[in-house]
Structure 1
Amino acid sequence: MNRRALITLCLAACLALSLGGIALASAQAHRLGWKDCGDGLRCAELVVPVDWADPGGPRTSVHVAKLPATSRSMGPLIVNFGGPGTSTSMLRRKDDPGLPPELPVLLDELRSRFDVIAIDPRGLSEPGSAKRVSCAEPAASVYGLVLARTKQDWDAHAAKNAAYRESCRKTAKSAWHGLTAWNVAHDIDALRAALGQDKLVYAGNSYGTVYAQAYLELFPQRVGRMYFDGTADHTQRELEPWLRNYARTQERHLTRFRDWCASRTDCALHGRDAGKAWDELVARVRRAPLPASARRTVHEGQLYAGAVKGMNPALWPQFATAIRKALDGDAGDFLSELAPDQVSSSLSQASLCNDFMPKAPTYEEFQAIEAGLRQIAPRFGWIEGRFELGRCWGFSGGASWAPHPLRVQGVPPILFAIGELDNNTNYLGQQHVAEQIPSARVLWHGDGHASWAGNTCLRRHVNAYLTTGELPSPGTRCRAERIQKVGK
């Protein structure tokens, strides 16, 4: 869809909502029937249009879960913890190694003042839910282009993603057209109205901030307080500048990894320059594959794929150990401890590409883009181009709700938390989003992605903002807390 058509669509949908949305939301308020659904939660299904561009058209529903307040409630706090994926299951407080161990503490603090309410995007409900869509074909691994060595490898990756996308489209049926953050933002507003909330109080982490960006544009007059944590930059029209921010961030991360290792006696590379150790390993693999146990070898793509995974600060100890062992003659950890994750048939990757894929370059055009990335981030960061492009390489038709500069005016103060160690939603992109919102206040901290739960200073300031609207003083910075615990 071209941009002029999209803008026309937005205007038409907003007009339709202004004329009929209040009545629709009022009707939904009576249909939002809460039921016990285990683990102390109350659950409901919110009935919404399949596509808010056609508010009178077919209906679907999205899953909503509530963690009731433990004392007198100030009202609802709507949350989305990212993904794109299920947020409602995160309220269940189950043991999950993929979740921050401090999440129960954060939830207890929030529910002492709010009814905490999570909303799932379309097709991404809790495991076992009838609303959860599983595609017939799995997506290609996001590491696929990092591992690719020939154009044939690139073509095979594209073919796998194309088959995945088509299977998702067939499985989702008519709901496919609603799989955008633009529609989820409308769902959030319908939930706000169904809850009887005049002004939205919302906290979004990671992909939850994409929905928040759409909400700010669509419903600025309904914004009360909004918190952005680990913001994904949905404001870059062109792919190359978006990738440059990732490349620069990852290049700097190699230096931060080096400094962390130098400060820790338990780092496997302590006593030597960890950055130079990485450089030496790259030089070796470019001469010949690295030997590994059981007569295996590791080629350059496998080395970089493991490094992309290992550059997450939580995995720095394993990354350092893998480098040391590889230099000593066994690179096997890059095939085991740091091996790429398994592929998925979840709808989440298709939803991401529906929102985030600008006009994709051809294979030949990307070679020129990659050459530019190698110039600004030659040691490690350049590989991010392949990693990020690999998510949607092979998808056709472009994004349904394409990235574009934010157009936001007249909203109350918005709080952003940006981590200096965030290489997931890179901190340069996060800053770029915040700069487009005149009322934004940025709270920098020394940790990485999604640190709201694990940084006590951050929790204190964010919870004060959500409950009272109090912003941290300009220039306030929270020191690193989570990174200090890595490896201990």
Structure 2
Amino acid sequence: MNRRRVIALCLAACLAVSLGGIALASAQAYSLGWRECGDGLRCAELVVPVDWADPGGPKTSVHVAKLSATGRSAGPLIVNFGGPGTSTAMLRPSSDPDYPPELPVVLNELRSRFDVIAIDPRGMSEPNSGKKMSCAEPGASIHGLVLARTRQDWDAHAAKNAAHQKSCRKTAKSAWRGLTAWNVAHDIDALRAALGQEKLLYAGNSYGTVFAQAYLELFPRRVGRMYFDGTADHTRQKFEDRLRDYAMTQERHLIRFRDWCARRTDCALYGRDASKAWDELVARVRRTLLPASTGRTVSEGQLYAGGIQGMNPARWPQFATAIRKALDGNAAGFLTELAPEQGGSSVSQDFLCNDFMPKLPTYEEFQEIEARLREIAPRFGWLSGRYELGRCWGRSGGASWAPHPLSGKESMQDLPPVLFAIGELDNNTNYLGQRHVAEQIPSAHVLWHGDGHASWGGNSCLRRNVLAYFTTGALPAPGTRCPAERIQKVGK
């Protein structure tokens, strides 16, 4: 065991005991100077160690924002909406097309009982905070390895990610070595202490659940109520096991897409087997490039990249239309509505790679992994391997908090109930991985629902149950399942 890991474990043990621990150094040690910052928000900077394994070392700060309760406040409820990215900006009204349209409904319900406090991970903050780290070089497209045909393509993808990482490291300076969920969990506990909160009330969506998993390990005795929505599984120690969960989920999603289309007269493939239509299109592109409008063509990689975009339930209507038009001779939809995403300039992918892929397989090792993924998910799901690996291929070094089964189970025996919402249509943070995390928490209570990723705001049954849990501690009755609401609206 390396020296840094020993130090980290010793520190975690010290922090997990009583109010005398370092992270509980008191609200005076981790104070918040609130100021007005527009849109009815108050903002503050929380000064914390760059690396909590070295609490006396360099300091950094994280951005925090508060929406005060509209009624009598029952205290602070800390939230992180995932990404990893800015959560404080999510408390502001926005015309951004990526802004969840149902989020204001959630915030208004929570504010009726709580002061809602959003915390940003290190380096990911709203631009006007001055804490956002922007990297000079853009990263490779997350779809880059899906598009790759040759070893040279793989090498080019790696070089682009390496250049991006190098520029991020230059921007972050000493803060670079603190970019892990393990450190963010400590930040959350420092925020809890600064707010004068004895027990943490926390709602995490998507990547916000990675921070929550770290918090459960480090500070189980400080958990009050904790809600996981769209959980990203950080407990699969083997990379291939995590890829298998994604591959099987995506393979099943092809069938769920087919079944959805069969029920919808407004689906462009209504009246035919939508999954077989996809198979036919794949067979065609393997023979020759697909024609598109204005003389363009679509390659196999571009078709696959568009398929990954389109397999999100919210995009099923566009996916069906793109397939039908491509079969009719115009595959332009895979170059427009379903075009591959370009690489970004934030440190978010480096953060994710530090947490999930600090050690990457070699090119040759991954070819063997992909062959096994093709065996279990030959029609579509095998693509998940390239998609997930593409986030980190070419990055190396930096901080790390590698995936591992949840530890500290003895101290977790006394945890209060922890509420999980798992969507049967969630292929973003796949539902197999979400269930795997919940199974490791003795007090976990799972509320299944019929929608996809991050559906808290768009499903009234979820909102009702989550609000009851936070306000009174009441859990859904055993066997409760929230019916789909968001997916029913798709295509309308």
The normalised TM-score by structure 1 is: 0.97
CA–CA distance in 1 between the matches of 2:24 and 2:76?
Answer: 21
Residue 136 of structure 1 and its aligned partner are, at CA, apart by 1.4
2:392 — aligned with what? 392
CA–CA distance in 2 between the matches of 1:58 and 1:7?
Answer: 20
1:25 — aligned with what? 26
2:435 — aligned with what? 431
Secondary structure (helix, strand or coil) at the match of 2:96 reads coil
Distance 1:43 1:150, change over 3 A: same
CA–CA distance in 2 between the matches of 1:28 and 1:340?
Answer: 46
CA–CA distance in 1 between the matches of 2:9 and 2:230?
Answer: 26
- Kept after mapping to 1: 8 A contact 2:33/2:45: yes
Larger CA deviation: 50-59 vs 372-381: 50-59
CA–CA distance in 1 between the matches of 2:170 and 2:455?
Answer: 37
Secondary structure (helix, strand or coil) at the match of 2:277 reads helix
Distance 1:456 1:3, change over 3 A: farther
Secondary structure (helix, strand or coil) at the match of 2:158 reads helix
1:175 aligns with 2:143: no
Secondary structure (helix, strand or coil) at the match of 1:202 reads strand
1:412 equivalent among 409, 416, 426? 416
1:243 aligns with 2:247: no
**Counterpart amino acid of residue 220 in structure 1:** P
Residue 133 of structure 1 and its aligned partner are, at CA, apart by 0.4
CA–CA distance in 2 between the matches of 1:26 and 1:294?
Answer: 63
1:39 aligns with 2:39: yes
Secondary structure (helix, strand or coil) at the match of 2:432 reads helix
The correspondence of residues 4-19 of structure 1 with structure 2, limited to 5 A, is: 5-6=4-5, 8-15=7-14, 19=20
- Kept after mapping to 1: 8 A contact 2:246/2:430: yes
Residue 93 of structure 1 and its aligned partner are, at CA, apart by 2.3
CA–CA distance in 1 between the matches of 2:16 and 2:372?
Answer: 44
2:130 — aligned with what? 130
Distance 1:166 1:149, change over 3 A: same
2:148 — aligned with what? 148
Secondary structure (helix, strand or coil) at the match of 2:60 reads strand
**Counterpart amino acid of residue 42 in structure 2:** R
Secondary structure (helix, strand or coil) at the match of 1:27 reads coil
1:282 aligns with 2:247: no
- Kept after mapping to 1: 8 A contact 2:227/2:419: yes
2:466 — aligned with what? 462
CA–CA distance in 1 between the matches of 2:280 and 2:3?
Answer: 50
- Kept after mapping to 1: 8 A contact 2:77/2:114: yes
Residue 26 of structure 1 and its aligned partner are, at CA, apart by 2.7
CA–CA distance in 1 between the matches of 2:12 and 2:469?
Answer: 32
The correspondence of residues 140-219 of structure 1 with structure 2, limited to 5 A, is: 140-219=140-219
Deviations along 1:87-125, whole A, 9 cap, x unmatched?
A: 001001223321221111111100000000000011111
Residue 473 of structure 1 and its aligned partner are, at CA, apart by 1.6
- Kept after mapping to 1: 8 A contact 2:7/2:53: no
Distance 1:309 1:8, change over 3 A: same
- Kept after mapping to 2: 8 A contact 1:50/1:175: yes
Deviations along 1:295-329, whole A, 9 cap, x unmatched?
A: 11111110000000011111111000000000001
Residue 231 of structure 1 and its aligned partner are, at CA, apart by 0.1
Secondary structure (helix, strand or coil) at the match of 2:183 reads helix
CA–CA distance in 2 between the matches of 1:385 and 1:203?
Answer: 29
- Kept after mapping to 2: 8 A contact 1:356/1:399: no
Distance 1:463 1:28, change over 3 A: same
Distance 1:23 1:398, change over 3 A: closer
Residue 13 of structure 1 and its aligned partner are, at CA, apart by 4.7
Distance 1:297 1:23, change over 3 A: closer
CA–CA distance in 2 between the matches of 1:171 and 1:13?
Answer: 29
Residue 487 of structure 1 and its aligned partner are, at CA, apart by 0.9
**Counterpart amino acid of residue 339 in structure 1:** A
Distance 1:118 1:132, change over 3 A: same
The correspondence of residues 436-447 of structure 1 with structure 2, limited to 5 A, is: 436-447=440-451
- Kept after mapping to 2: 8 A contact 1:360/1:398: no
The correspondence of residues 50-69 of structure 1 with structure 2, limited to 5 A, is: 50-69=50-69
**Counterpart amino acid of residue 473 in structure 2:** G
- Kept after mapping to 1: 8 A contact 2:47/2:61: yes
Secondary structure (helix, strand or coil) at the match of 1:26 reads coil
Deviations along 1:136-164, whole A, 9 cap, x unmatched?
A: 11111110000000000001111111111
Residue 4 of structure 1 and its aligned partner are, at CA, apart by 7.8
Deviations along 1:187-234, whole A, 9 cap, x unmatched?
A: 000000000000000000000000000000000010000000000000
- Kept after mapping to 1: 8 A contact 2:180/2:354: yes
Structure 1 runs of 4+ off > 3 angstroms?
2-5, 16-20, 22-25
Distance 1:223 1:406, change over 3 A: same
Distance 1:378 1:22, change over 3 A: closer
1:402 — aligned with what? 402
Secondary structure (helix, strand or coil) at the match of 1:177 reads helix
**Counterpart amino acid of residue 282 in structure 1:** V
2:324 — aligned with what? 324
CA–CA distance in 2 between the matches of 1:417 and 1:102?
Answer: 17
CA–CA distance in 2 between the matches of 1:77 and 1:342?
Answer: 35
1:380 — aligned with what? 380
Deviations along 1:39-69, whole A, 9 cap, x unmatched?
A: 0001111111111111111211110000000
Q: How high is the sequence identity, in percent, across the aligned residues? A: 77
Residue 10 of structure 1 and its aligned partner are, at CA, apart by 2.6
Residue 27 of structure 1 and its aligned partner are, at CA, apart by 2.1
1:92 aligns with 2:86: no
Distance 1:259 1:399, change over 3 A: farther
**Counterpart amino acid of residue 436 in structure 1:** Q
The normalised TM-score by structure 2 is: 0.96
Residue 169 of structure 1 and its aligned partner are, at CA, apart by 1.1
Residue 8 of structure 1 and its aligned partner are, at CA, apart by 4.2
2:299 — aligned with what? 299
The correspondence of residues 357-372 of structure 1 with structure 2, limited to 5 A, is: 357-372=357-372
CA–CA distance in 1 between the matches of 2:236 and 2:435?
Answer: 12
**Counterpart amino acid of residue 475 in structure 2:** L
2:491 — aligned with what? 487
CA–CA distance in 2 between the matches of 1:286 and 1:78?
Answer: 50
**Counterpart amino acid of residue 76 in structure 1:** P
Distance 1:271 1:401, change over 3 A: same
Task: State the Cα RMSD in Å.
Answer: 1.5
Distance 1:406 1:398, change over 3 A: farther
Secondary structure (helix, strand or coil) at the match of 2:295 reads coil
- Kept after mapping to 2: 8 A contact 1:28/1:47: no
Secondary structure (helix, strand or coil) at the match of 1:96 reads coil
Aligned length: 486
CA–CA distance in 2 between the matches of 1:431 and 1:39?
Answer: 38
1:312 — aligned with what? 312
2:230 — aligned with what? 230
1:476 aligns with 2:480: yes
